[in-house]
Amino acid sequence: MSVCPDHNWDTYSYNTDDGPVIVGFHTQSNRIDQSQYPFCARVIIPIKSPNQNGFPEQDEAQVLWNMEDQLVEDLDVEAVPCLLLGRLTHGGVRELVFQVGDYEPFRPPVGRWMAEHDAYETDVSEHDGWDFFFESVWPSETSWLMIMDRRVVENLREAGSDPLKPHSLEFVFRGDESKLRLMESALMDRGYTLIAMSANEGRLIMARSLPLDLGMIFEESVSHHDHCRDLGIEYDGWGAAVVS
Whole-angstrom distance, CA of residue 7 vs CA of residue 4:
9
Using a 10 angstrom Cβ sphere, with 0-12 exposed, 13-18 middle and 19 or more buried, the burial of residue 71 is: buried
| Identity of residue 23 | V
pLDDT score for 1: 52
Amino acid at residue number 188: M
Instruction: List pLDDT tens digits, range 116-165.
Output: 999 999 999 999 999 999 999 999 999 999 999 999 999 999 999 999 99
Considering the entire predicted model, what is its pTM? 0.87
Burial 77-98 (b: 16+ CB within 10 A, else e): eeebebbbbbbbbbbbbbbbbb
Measure CA of the first residue to CA of the last residue in the chain; give whole Å: 43
Per-residue pLDDT, 76: 95
- What number of other Cβ atoms are within 10 A of residue 64's Cβ? 19
Can you give the pLDDT of all 244 residues of the chain as single tens digits? 555 555 689 999 999 988 999 999 999 999 999 999 999 999 999 999 999 999 999 999 999 999 999 999 999 999 999 999 999 999 999 999 999 999 999 999 999 999 999 999 999 999 999 999 999 999 999 999 999 999 999 999 999 999 999 999 999 999 999 999 999 999 999 999 999 999 899 999 999 999 999 999 999 999 999 999 999 999 999 999 999 9
CA–CA separation, 117 and 124 (whole Å): 14
As a three-state string, the secondary structure of the chain is: CCECCHHHEEEEEEEECCEEEEEEEECCHHHCCHHHCCEEEEEEEECCCECCCCCECHHHHHHHHHHHHHHHHHHHHCCCCEEEEEEEEECCEEEEEEEECCHHHHHHHHHHHHHHCCCCCCEEEEEECCHHHHHHHCCCHHHHHHHHHHHHHHHHHHCCCCCCCCEEEEEEEECCHHHHHHHHHHHHCCCCEEEEEECCCCEEEEEEEECCCHHHHHHHHHHHHHHHHHHCCEEEEEECCCCC
